[in-house]
Structure 1
C-alpha cells in the first residue's frame, strides 16, 4: 500500500468514526452503529433541521431534529437525534455563531426512538436545560429517565401552562397526552412565533414523491425495494430510487398495504437459493413479498399531492382511543398563525397552515374531507384493523374509550 492509499484509508476511518453510534443496541434499528447526519437551513440564521435515518427491513425513513435560534442568543433543540461526532460538530458550528444550546425538548412520552438519544445528547451540552413531555414511560421495561442517561438535576417536565416555560416569550406549545391504560401517547406541538413555524413529532406528516437526501446517501435500501422479485439486481438510477422510495413509504405507514402480498416461506427460500450475489447481500436473498400492479396508485393516494395527514398506525391504534381529546388539541394548535410545519419524519418543511393541519384530523369526526384532500383508501387499513383486533383480543390494547 502506497502513501496515498494509506492516507485515503485513514480519512475513511476518521469519517467512519464520525458516523459511529455505539449505543444502537438500545434501539436496534437500521442503520445500527453508523448514522450519517445532514443539516439543512430552513430559515436563514433561524431554523435548521438535522436528518438521520431509521428503519427495519431496509424500510428507511428520516428521523429529524430541529434547532431554533433564540432572539436573546442561544439555541433550542427539539427532538434530538443520535449525538454522533458528525452531528455534534454540526451543532457546535451553530453554537459558535449563535450561542450555546440552552434548551433541549423531548416532545413525546412513549417514542423510544426519540427518547433514547436525549440523555447522550444532553451530556454533550452540560449547560442546557432538558424539558420532557409529561407521563414518560417505556416498553418493554418502564425505566426511569435517569437510567436512560437523562441528567436528573437538569431535567424537568414541561409545565402544563406554556406561559410558565422559560422560553414562553418566543414559543407557544400544546401538549397532547392520551392515557392508553398501559402507558400514554404524548405529543408536544411547539410553535415558534417569530418564524411562524410549527414543530411536531409523530402526529402529522407528508410524503415526498422523491427520496429525501438523507435516504440517498446509501441507495441500497431504495434499490432493494425497487425490485420486483428475489432475482432482480436493480440498476442504480433516478427512476429506481424513486420507485424504491415510494414502496418504502407504503410499507412504512401501512406495514402491509393492500398493494403488497406475502409469498410463502418455502417459495421465498427457494428463490433465495437462486438469487444473485447482489440480492443475497440482504437477508441471505430472502424477499418474501411481491407488489401488485396497482402499487403506484396506492402511493399516489397516500401522497395526495403532498397533503398533510395522520399516519395510519396512529389513526387506527392510538388517536381513535380519545377522539374528542385529540380534536380539542388540534383545535388549539390550529389557532396559531403558522405557515410551515416541520415533522420529525418524512418530508420537511411542509408548507401548510392551520386549516391543513386541522383537516388532517377530519377522520376522527367521520365527516367529509375538503375537496382535493380525500381520506386514505380503506383497503390499505385492512392489516392494521386486523392487528388492532388481535391486540384487543390479547388484552394488549383496549377498545376506544370515547366517541366524538
Structure 2
C-alpha cells in the first residue's frame, strides 16, 4: 500500500481549518506509505505558511495482539479515513490514539475529529496539555471526554506495553510546558518522535509534489520570473522552503524594499491571488545552496534551531536524561512528524544531536551559526519582553 490518493477534491476537505488557519487550508491531500511490511504506515499531509510547506505526519502501527495504534493524528479527511479503514479491514480496529505533545496546536487540533471517527478507540495524551494564544480545554477541541486520559508516567502500565516503550520529556516553560513523548516499537526497532528531531531530504517529499505550486513559487529568483514547472525548479523551491522553515530568516535571504517589491509586482507575469498578486520580496545570495547543504549534511538528524535556542535550554538536564534514556533503546530508524521519514539512524546519532546542551559540545559551524542569528535575536527580544526566560546553564 503506497500513495493511494483519490482525485475527488471533496475527499480532501478539512472543514475545521479555521481553528489553525495554515496552508492548504480547507483541502488536505494524504499519502499513505508502508514503512515496515504489514506493521507500520505513515500518512503524510502538508502544512505551512506563505507556501513554506512541509510534511506533517501520522504513524499507524499494527499491534501484536491485533488492531492499530495511531501516533499523532492528521486531518481526518475522507481520503485519509478511507486509507486508514483499508488498514482496519486487514489488521483490526484502531484501538489507541496518541497525542504525543502538549503545546503543539497544529497536532492537537486533529485528534478530536479523528477520534470521533473511531468511537471504539481509547485516546491517550501527553501530560500538561495547554495551548497558545488561548488555553482551550481538550473538550473544546472535540476530544471525547469519556475516552481520553493522560499517558501513564510508567510505560509498563499502558495497555500497549507489549509493543511499545515510551519516555516523556517534560520541560516547565513557566507559562506552559514543552512535552514530547518518544515511542519505541520494539518489534520493528522503530523510534517515533514528534518535533524533537528532524532530517532534511535532498528531494522534495512526495506529498509536496502532488501540488507543486509552493515549490515553484519559491523556486524563482525574482518576481518577474515565470512560474515554470520542471524538476530543477521543484528542487530549488524545496531547498529554499527548508531554509525558511528551519531558520525563519536564513542569512542567505534578503528582502527587497517596498517600492521595488510593488514595481516588480506590476511587471510580474502572474497577478492572481494564488501568486499573491505578483508580490515576491525575496532575494537569495549566491551561497544559499551551501547553506542548504550544511543544513542537510547528508541526511543527519538534528534538533531544529527554534528548539535549540528557545525551548530545550530551559531544561538541559531533563532533556539530556530523556535523550540518554531514549538512546538505550535498540532502534534502527526514526519516524518524526515533520520533514523526512523514515530516517536510518542509530541511538548514538540520536543522542549526539543533543550535544549542544553540554558544556563540552563542539562549536557550531560558522555558516550554520549565521543562519541561526535571527532566532537568537528573536529569543533576545522575547527575553526583553519577559515572555522568555534566560537559558539554564549547560550540563
Bin for the TM-score computed over the shorter chain: over 0.9
Structure 1 consecutive aligned stretches of length 4 or more whose deviation exceeds 6 Å: 373-376
Which residue among 374, 385, 389 is the counterpart of 1:383? 374
Q: State the alpha-carbon separation in 2 of the partners of residues 45 and 336 from structure 1.
A: 22
1:403 Cα deviation from its structure 2 partner: 3.3
- Partner-residue secondary structure (3-state), 1:347: coil
1:39 to 2:46 alignment: no
1:297 to 2:297 alignment: no
- Partner-residue secondary structure (3-state), 2:34: strand
TM-score (normalizing by structure 2): 0.96
Q: State the alpha-carbon separation in 2 of the partners of residues 284 and 47 from structure 1.
A: 43
Q: State the alpha-carbon separation in 1 of the partners of residues 367 and 122 from structure 2.
A: 40
- Partner-residue secondary structure (3-state), 1:181: coil
Q: State the alpha-carbon separation in 1 of the partners of residues 162 and 147 from structure 2.
A: 21
1:364 Cα deviation from its structure 2 partner: 1.1
Look up the match of 1:4: none
Q: How does 1:250-261 map to 2 (within 5 A)?
A: 250-261=243-254
Look up the match of 1:149: 142
Look up the match of 1:317: 310
1:193 to 2:192 alignment: no
Look up the match of 1:205: 198
1:401 Cα deviation from its structure 2 partner: 3.6
1:281 to 2:281 alignment: no
Look up the match of 1:87: 80
Q: State the alpha-carbon separation in 1 of the partners of residues 129 and 320 from structure 2.
A: 22
1:395 to 2:386 alignment: yes
Q: Is the 8 A contact 1:208 1:306 kept in 2?
A: yes
Q: Is the 8 A contact 2:33 2:43 kept in 1?
A: yes
Q: In structure 2, do the counterparts of structure 1 residues 375 and 177 end up closer, same or farther at CA, with 3 Å as the change threshold?
A: farther
- Partner-residue secondary structure (3-state), 1:337: coil
Measured on the aligned residues, the alpha-carbon RMSD in Å equals 1.6
Q: State the alpha-carbon separation in 1 of the partners of residues 193 and 365 from structure 2.
A: 22
Look up the match of 1:7: none
TM-score (normalizing by structure 1): 0.94
Q: In structure 2, do the counterparts of structure 1 residues 289 and 14 end up closer, same or farther at CA, with 3 Å as the change threshold?
A: closer
- Partner-residue secondary structure (3-state), 1:396: coil
1:278 Cα deviation from its structure 2 partner: 6.2
Look up the match of 2:56: 63
1:249 to 2:242 alignment: yes
Q: In structure 2, do the counterparts of structure 1 residues 187 and 329 end up closer, same or farther at CA, with 3 Å as the change threshold?
A: same
Look up the match of 1:99: 92
Q: Is the 8 A contact 2:316 2:392 kept in 1?
A: no
Q: State the alpha-carbon separation in 2 of the partners of residues 339 and 80 from structure 1.
A: 23
User: CA-to-partner distance for each residue in 1:228-266, whole Å, 9 max, x for gaps?
Assistant: 011111321111100100000000000000010122122
User: CA-to-partner distance for each residue in 1:372-392, whole Å, 9 max, x for gaps?
Assistant: x96971101110011001111
Unaligned runs of 5+ in 1: 1-12
Q: Is the 8 A contact 1:201 1:343 kept in 2?
A: yes
| Count of aligned pairs | 390
Q: Is the 8 A contact 1:233 1:279 kept in 2?
A: no
Look up the match of 1:342: 335
Q: Is the 8 A contact 1:109 1:186 kept in 2?
A: yes
- Partner-residue secondary structure (3-state), 2:260: helix
- Partner-residue secondary structure (3-state), 1:392: helix
Q: Is the 8 A contact 1:324 1:402 kept in 2?
A: no
Unaligned runs of 5+ in 2: 1-5
Q: State the alpha-carbon separation in 1 of the partners of residues 172 and 44 from structure 2.
A: 30
Q: State the alpha-carbon separation in 2 of the partners of residues 247 and 153 from structure 1.
A: 45
